[in-house]
Chain A
C-alpha cells in the first residue's frame, strides 16, 4: 500500500518573488503566502476547465483520515497545445504537490510544483513557437 503524507509547513517561509506574474488571474488574491502546503495524494478527477484547470486529489493524513483537495493549475488550452489529452492524468495517479492554501481556509491550493512521485514534472514541455518538433496536434 502506498504511503501518503500530508504536512503543512509549521514555519513561515520567506517568500522570494522570482516567478513571472501569471497572465490572467492574480493567484495572490486567492492563496495565502503564509500557508504553504505539501500534498501527496491520489488523483480523483482532472477538471479541464477554463480559465484554469483543477486537479482533485485525496490526501491521506497521518491519522488515516482522507481529505479531498482541489489544486488550481494552468490553462487547459496550453496543455492541449503541448499534446496532452484528457487521458494524460488518470484517476489513481499519485502526485506530489507544493503550493499555498486558499485564503478562505478551504481545502484548495495552487499548484506551484506538481510532480509525479519520482520527481518527473507534470505537463513538462517547452512551447517555443519556432520549434518544428512542437507537440501541437490540431487534429484533436
Chain B
C-alpha cells in the first residue's frame, strides 16, 4: 500500500508538471526545470527509467504526416491498449475449442507499454523514416551468409546458429536497441558516481559504465557489440558519445551496421519524472545521412529490474536446429515462418 500511495503521488506530480512529448517541447521544459544535484554536484538522473511508452521506430504509413498523432489516432491507440489490458486481466481463459490458438505464449504474459501521442521514435528526418541504405550497404548486407543476407529472428533456413540474429542468440540487442522499447523487460536504470554514469538495460543484461573525464575512446582495434561510451555534461544535459562498434549488429532488428557507427545520446531531466532522450545515429557505411530518435522516459520507482541471464536456459537453438533436421527427414519446409508482423 505504501508503494501504491507513493506511486500515486508521483503520477499526480507528473500531471501537474504536464510533461511534453517531443524533443522541441522538451527543450523548452529543460530551461524551466532545474534537476536535483548529486552530492558531488552533477545533475541527478538516477532512478528507474523503463521504456514503458510504446512508440514505433518509424512512422507507420497509415498515420498522418504529423510528428504527433491526431486526437482520433491517439484515441484509437488508447482504445486498443484498454482492450488489450482488459483481456489481460480476465480471470478465466477463453474457451480455445479443440486446438490451441497461437504458437506463442498468451498475450497476457507480455508487458504492456502505454500509448503516447508521439508518432515515431525517428524525429529526424521529419518524415519519421530511417534514411535509405547506401548502395554499398545494400551490397554488403546482401552478401552476408554467403549471399543469403543477415541472420534473422525468423530465418528462411535453419542450418546454423548464424541463421538467427544476434538478439535471438541471446548475445545482445546492441546499441541503440538496448535503450529502446520492447515487449517485455524494458527496464533501464541510471546510477551515478563521481566521474561516472552507469546505465543498466534489462533486455538483455547490459551495463554501460561511462566515464565523464573526457578521456579518449579505447584504441580503434577494440570493437564490441555495445561500443565504447564516453560522457560529459553540457549544462544539465548528459552527452554520451559511443564508438568502437563491431559491425555485427543492427538497430531495432535491422541489418548490421559497419564498425564506423557512432551514436551521440543526450539525456536531460525535464521534469521530476521525465527524462528526455535524444540519440543521433550516423554510419556513412550504412545510411545516406545521419538520423535522430527521441524518447521520453518516465520515472517508475516501482519498477524492479531482474537479471536476464539470457543464455541460462536458451534451448531455442538446440530445439530449432534439431527440429529443422527432423522436418528435413519428413521432406517438409524448415523455415521459421513469421506468422504475424511485430515490433521487436
Contacts and interface: CB of A to CB of B under 8 A. Distances in A.
Interface range, B side: 35 or more
B62 interface: no
A61 interface: no
Given A30-B320, A77-B185, A21 B103 contact: no
Contact of A126 (B112, B323, B337): B112
The 7 closest A-B pairs by CB, nearest first: A103-B323, A21-B342, A23-B183, A49-B313, A74-B109, A29-B336, A19-B102
Interface stretch (B66-74, B206-214, B228-236, B303-311): B303-311
A1 interface: no
Contacts of A21: 104, 338-342, 344
Given A17-B339, A51-B308, A78-B109, A112 B101 contact: yes
A99 B105 CA distance: 9
Contact of B111 (A81, A105, A115, A133): A81
A127 B108 CA distance: 8
Contact of B112 (A16, A111, A128): A128
Interface residues of A, number: 72
Contact of B114 (A47, A103, A128): A128
B312 A124 contact: no
Given A20-B107, A129-B112, A104 B304 contact: no
Given A25-B168, A99-B100, A103-B319, A124 B91 contact: yes
Given A9-B98, A15-B339, A129-B114, A113 B85 contact: no
A96 to B, nearest CB: 9
Interface of B (DSSP majority class): loop
Given A78-B111, A104-B322, A134-B7, A50 B183 contact: no
B185 to A, nearest CB: 5
Contact of B102 (A38, A75, A112, A133): A112
A127 to B, nearest CB: 4
B123 to A, nearest CB: 22
A76 B96 CA distance: 25
A23 B109 CA distance: 11
Interface string B66-106: 00000000000000000001001111110010111111111
A24 B177 CA distance: 13
Contact of A127 (B4, B91, B106, B110): B110
Nearest to B312: A50
Interface of A: 9, 13, 15-33, 36-38, 47, 49-52, 54, 72-81, 98-100, 102-106, 108, 110-115, 119-121, 123-130, 132-134, 136-138
A21 B337 CA distance: 11
Contacts of A108: 319
Contacts of B182: 23
Contacts of A121: 90-93, 106, 108
A52 B109 CA distance: 11
Given A21-B338, A127-B88, A98 B96 contact: yes
Contacts of A130: 11, 114
Interface stretch (B19-27, B150-158, B256-264): B150-158
Interface centre among A23, A80, A138 (most CB of B within 10 A): A23
B99 A30 contact: no
B99 A13 contact: yes
A103 B326 contact: yes
Contact of B340 (A19, A126, A134): A19
